A and B are shown apart, each in its own frame.
Chain A
Amino acid sequence: MSQNPHLTFVEEILLLLLDDESGAMKRVAPNVMELLVAGAILMDLALRGRLDCDLQRLVVVDSTPVGEEILDGPLAEIVEAADEADARTWVVRLSARSKQVQEAALARLVERGILRVEDRSFLWVFGSRRYPMVDDREEREVKLRILDVLLSDRIPAPRDVALICLADASNAFQVILSPQELRHAAARIELVRGFDLIGQAMGRAIQKSVQDIAAATATAHHPFY
C-alpha cells in the first residue's frame, strides 16, 4: 500500500476514463493515450519535487525514488539520460512506457479496492478485461475537484491544474460536463491548462502526434504516383 495519500495522476485519469458500471475504458486514440500517460508521470514527479523545468529543459532536482513503481522507473530513466532535453521530448520518450504503466496503475486501483477485475470472453477465444468500479469515492472526488476549478473563478491548486491538463487532453470533460457546461468552461480550460509547463508540453506533443497521423492518413489516401 502506498504511503502517499494522493492517487497518482495516471490513476486519477484512468478513473475518469472508465465507465463506472461496465468498467470499459472510454475510447482515447492510442497515440494520445501514450503521450497523456507520459505527461501524467512527469507532472507527478514535478509536484513531488523530483523534476523541474523551464521553457528549454527539464532537469532532475532529486533522484530519490518516490516509492511508486509507476513513477520510479521513469525517474530512473531521466536520471540516467546522458543528454539534456525539454519537457516535450521527455513526454515523447516516456510514452513508450505507457501500456506497462497503465497496467500497473489499474492493478494498484484494484489492490486499493477502488476497482475490480472482470474477465470476459467472446466465443471462448477472444478475451477482454474490464474494471468496474467498486468504491467510487476517489472518482467522485476527482470529478468534484475538476468541477470546482471549471465552474468558479477560484485560482486552482497546482495538483488541480495538472488534472485539468490531463482531463482536457483525454477529452474526459465530455464525460463530466454537459455540452452547455463545456461551452461555458472552454475559456477557463484554456486559461488553466497554460499554468503548467509540463501540461503545455504534453499538449504540444499530442497536437503534433495527431497532426502527423492525419498527414500520414491523407498521404495514404492520396498517394503520389
Chain B
Amino acid sequence: MIESIKIGKSAIGGETVGGVTVWVPEGRVDASSAPDLEQAMTSGIAEGGEAVVLDLSRTRYMSSAGLRVVLVVARALQAREGKFAVCGLNDEVKELFEVSGFSLIVGIEPDRDAAVAAVAAQ
C-alpha cells in the first residue's frame, strides 16, 4: 500500500489491489487539491500503473478542476492503452459527470470492488 498523501483539506491515498492502482481522494477535489491529485495519478501511470480506479467514495465535492483531472488521467491511460474506472460517486458528483458527458467516456461503477473487477476484466 502506498502511504496516503495529505494535501490541504484533502488526502490522496493510492493503493494497489490485484494489480490495479486505486486512488482515494478525500474531501474536496477542487482547484486547491486537483493539481496534486493529477500529479500523483499521472506519475503513477508514468511509472507503469496502467490499470487505475479513482474511488470517490470519500470525496464530498468535485469542481470543474476535479473533472479536468479525470480528463487528463483518462487521456493519459488511453494513450497507453491502459484501463480506467471511477466509483463511489455521491449524487452531486454523479450529476456533474452526467451533465459534462464524462459518464460517456469513463466507466462508472457503484463501488471499489466492482470498479477493480471491471478494470481487471478490460
Contact = CB atoms under 8 A, between A and B. Distances in A.
A54 B96 contact: yes
A75 to B, nearest CB: 14
Interface string B43-81: 000000000000000000111110110011011001100
Contacts of A62: 31
A52 B63 contact: yes
B95 interface: yes
Interface stretch (A6-14, A22-30, A121-129, A194-202): A194-202
Contact of B31 (A61, A156, A158, A197): A61
Contact of A154 (B30, B32, B35, B75): B75
B100 interface: yes
A194 B99 CA distance: 7
Interface residues of B, number: 25
Contacts of B102: 195
B31 A54 contact: no
Contacts, number: 62
Contacts of A200: 99-100
Given A53-B63, A54-B63, A191 B31 contact: no
B72 A158 contact: yes
Interface string A127-161: 00000000000000000000000000011111001
Contacts of B64: 46, 52-54, 196-198
A49 interface: yes
Contacts of A49: 31, 35
Contact of B104 (A46, A156, A191, A196): A191
A46 B65 contact: yes
Nearest to A154: B78
Interface of B: 30-32, 35, 61-65, 67-68, 71-72, 74-75, 78-79, 95-96, 99-102, 104-105
Given A55-B95, A191-B101, A195-B100, 7 more contacts: A46-B64, A52-B31, A52-B63, A54-B62, A55-B99, A156-B75, A200-B100
9 contacts: A46-B65, A54-B63, A61-B32, A155-B74, A157-B71, A157-B72, A157-B75, A161-B71, A196-B64
